[in-house]
Amino acid sequence: MSSEGGAPPSSAKRVGIRDVRARKNSAEKLIVLTAYDALFARLIDESGVDIVLVGDSAGTVLLGYDTTIPVTLDQMIHHASAARRGVKRALVTVDMPFLTYQVSAEQAVTNCGRVMQESGADSVKLEGGSAEVVRAVRAVTGVGIPVMGHLGYTPQSEHALGRSRVQARDDRDALALVEHAKRLEDAGVFSIVLELIPRTVARAVTQAVSVPTIGIGAGADCDGQVLVLHDMLGLNDRFTPKFLKRYATLADDVRSAVRRFGDDVRAGRYPDDDHSF
């Protein structure tokens, strides 16, 4: 049972793929947050998340790129290895970066295998529902690597998706999305992220597949919710989409702390005798 604020005791057993699958239609929603390093991964793991997602959002949130497209496999392995070292309980899922799984099934297996072997991750996430991606998912799950799907707004395809970020607004696109989700399920995914789609469409997908759906900007009817940690902490304070709820204002705290440190040093208040040997 919870020790404080919903967090499990540190001795709690590790979350596995079966545990995630068992949360389909459960009253207990899956809680998923991103982490790109050992420190934040440890903090969110200690706070009771079910899945730590090492997202390729690292590219935009941490590395200063405009999109996730420049992120490389080596960069993802670097971040995933660090996050893995911080996690004791949650399932660790790693985003496969652009063009590491779409070209051929063989490449997908080799690259996902590298992530698993070199970072110690528990699973990988592949974006999209095209024939190429479904083929990759089938090949990767076929060698025993658990795969999370990702439909709706898929940032690696942002140049192809058009101006509106919210996807599947009309009936034709909504039906196609449900179809893609069923194909991913058939190819073996253990869960599917649904990003930036109308709540009604997310509900239809959630009802159409037997694996848990994890929403971000997809309304309340998914089997779980994911947010980018730096966004929900208010650290990435230039990102202000409608769906985002901020649970802290850490960018303000950082700026204020840095200014106060500078003021103290300039005024000779720091270091004082209490902070000197």
Tell me which residues touch ligand KIV (CB under 6 A): 34, 53, 55-57, 95, 193, 195, 216, 226, 228
Span between the terminal Cα atoms of the chain, in Å: 45
Smallest separation (angstroms) from ligand KIV to the CB of 242: 15
Side-chain-side CA neighbours of residue 52 (13 Å)? 34
**Catalytic site residue 195?**
yes
Smallest separation (angstroms) from ligand KIV to the CB of 162: 19
Side-chain-side CA neighbours of residue 87 (13 Å)? 32
Smallest separation (angstroms) from ligand KIV to the CB of 275: 38
The smaller minimum CB distance to ligand KIV, of residues 8 and 98, is found at 98
The smaller minimum CB distance to ligand KIV, of residues 108 and 151, is found at 151
Pairing assessment for the beta strands 191-195 and 91-95 based on DSSP bridges: unpaired
Side-chain-side CA neighbours of residue 260 (13 Å)? 6
Side-chain-side CA neighbours of residue 175 (13 Å)? 2
Smallest separation (angstroms) from ligand KIV to the CB of 163: 20
CA-CA-CA-CA torsion for 74, 101, 146, 231, nearest 10 degrees? Answer: 60
Compute CA distances 266 → 256, 263, 275, whole Å. 15, 5, 16
The smaller minimum CB distance to ligand KIV, of residues 57 and 167, is found at 57
Closest-CB residue for ligand KIV?
A: 55
Smallest separation (angstroms) from ligand KIV to the CB of 54: 8
If one counts every other C-beta atom within 10 angstroms of the C-beta of residue 118, the result is: 15
Compute CA distances 28 → 2, 25, 216, 221, whole Å. 13, 8, 17, 12
The smaller minimum CB distance to ligand KIV, of residues 12 and 69, is found at 69
- Catalytic entry in 106, 118, 127, 195: 195
The smaller minimum CB distance to ligand KIV, of residues 39 and 257, is found at 39
Tokens of 27: 């009253």
DSSP 90: S
Active site residues: 195
